[in-house]
Amino acid sequence: MEESKGIPLGDIWYAEGDTPVGPWVYAKKIATHNKYNFYNVTQHPFFDKDGGRYIYFDGTYSTLLSQMDYETPRYDNNQIMYRLDLNDPRLYLPVPIYYVSDIEQHHAYLMREVVDSLNLWQKINRIPFFSIPENRKLDGMVPVYLDKTNDKHRLTTKFLDLEGRTSDLLFYGLPSFVRKKEQISGRWECEADDYPFTMDLLFEEDEVSGKMLHSQSLIFNKGLILNDTIELYIRDSEEQKTYRLTVQITNGKLNGKYEGVESNISGSVTGERTDLVWKLNASPAVVPLYEYQNEDGEYYYSTDSGLPEMKRSNTPICHVWRNPSTILALDFEAKPVPFGK
């Protein structure tokens, strides 16, 4: 963790790789030490719990090479241990989607588990993008399936079950947030004048439903879509009063006013979308995934906005994480050894 590379001393990051040499691309910061140095970080596998769901790591907390304004009394060169819950949604990192060639005269987009089970490592051509596996999906993510209609391998966001043929779920992407449904559905941290409240909204079939969080007195009654505005009705069971919120939602921001239905109370209301799917999509690494078709009718998928001699879809099928690396780093022959053997 070198300061010269833009990472402050004492910052610890978590990453995952399909093989020991990679690809190591996306990481999440899991600890920071306020300008203190934290070095010689080591994971201790013999402390693992629940089959590796909980892992433990420690490091040396030191003034060495640090930029602290003051020293922590009696802590110089101490060892500090942390526990990390790998099932925390904030650690759900995108994984490689491999482009595998020459499978029954077709190409395919596969994740590590399928590549490994079919021993297709030697047929990997590149990693066109990264996305989320089935066991790490979050509410609001877009399922992407494999459709083999007319013997063509095509990705689709619609589940197909026609004439006994089903679609295989490949991975999960992120929505584009261009439709009103995607703009509204999510978690909102709001404030009516100086009164804070949190609500989950869901927009389906021209109706808005919701749930109030962290409050035993506030109850979500109903929601209506009126042209460019949204009306939300919230009941305060303690005061026996109903409030109508007339708001507009744009780019993750909520603005409008509230009024008492049975009273003359009124004021302004603001809010911000805070659910994890929305935050993930705000990353500059998240880009549209486009569908391309060549002259032979074969489908290809890329985060590039234009590929020569191919016809591109007008809209992306979903959003995914781009692959910033030009190096295909894999060591598929290396296998993990159980601890203690």
Which residue ranges form the domains of the chain, and what is each CATH number?
A: 3-91 (no CATH), 95-174 (no CATH), 180-278 (2.40.128.120)
Calpha distance 137→129 (Å, rounded): 17
Percent over 70 (pLDDT), the chain: 94
83 touches 55 (CB < 8 A)? yes
Q: Is the dihedral of CA 225, 229, 235, 240 positive or negative?
A: negative
Asked if the model's pLDDT at residue 52 lies above 60, the reply is: yes
Asked if the model's pLDDT at residue 5 lies above 70, the reply is: no
Residue 305, number of CB atoms within 10 A of its CB? 10
Asked if the model's pLDDT at residue 327 lies above 70, the reply is: yes
pLDDT at 104: 67
Q: What is the mean pLDDT of residues 168-183?
A: 89
Residue 299 Cα to chain centre, angstroms:
26
Calpha distance 53→51 (Å, rounded): 6
Asked if the model's pLDDT at residue 340 lies above 70, the reply is: no
Q: What is the mean pLDDT of the chain?
A: 90
Q: What is the mean pLDDT of residues 172-190?
A: 90
Calpha distance 170→1 (Å, rounded): 35
Asked if the model's pLDDT at residue 3 lies above 60, the reply is: no
Query: What confidence category does residue 166 fall into, taking pLDDT thresholds of 50, 70 and 90?
Result: low
Whether a cis peptide bond, with omega within 30° of 0, leads into 94 is no
The string of DSSP codes covering 314-340 is SS-SEEEEE---------TT-----TT
Percent over 90 (pLDDT), the chain: 70
- What's the pTM value of the predicted model, to 2 decimals? 0.85
122 touches 308 (CB < 8 A)? no
pLDDT at 1: 32
| Helix/strand/coil for 170 | strand
The string of DSSP codes covering 124-166 is EEEEEEEEB-GGG--TTPEEEEEE-GGG--EEESS--EETTEE
Query: What confidence category does residue 131 fall into, taking pLDDT thresholds of 50, 70 and 90?
Result: very high
Scanning the chain, the segments in alpha helix (DSSP H) are 112-117, 180-184, 276-281
Structure-token pair, residue 284: 């500059």
Q: For 294-326, what is each residue's pLDDT tens digit? A: 988 889 999 998 888 899 999 999 999 999 998
Query: What confidence category does residue 163 fall into, taking pLDDT thresholds of 50, 70 and 90?
Result: low
Asked if the model's pLDDT at residue 271 lies above 80, the reply is: yes
Q: Is the dihedral of CA 167, 170, 176, 180 positive or negative?
A: positive
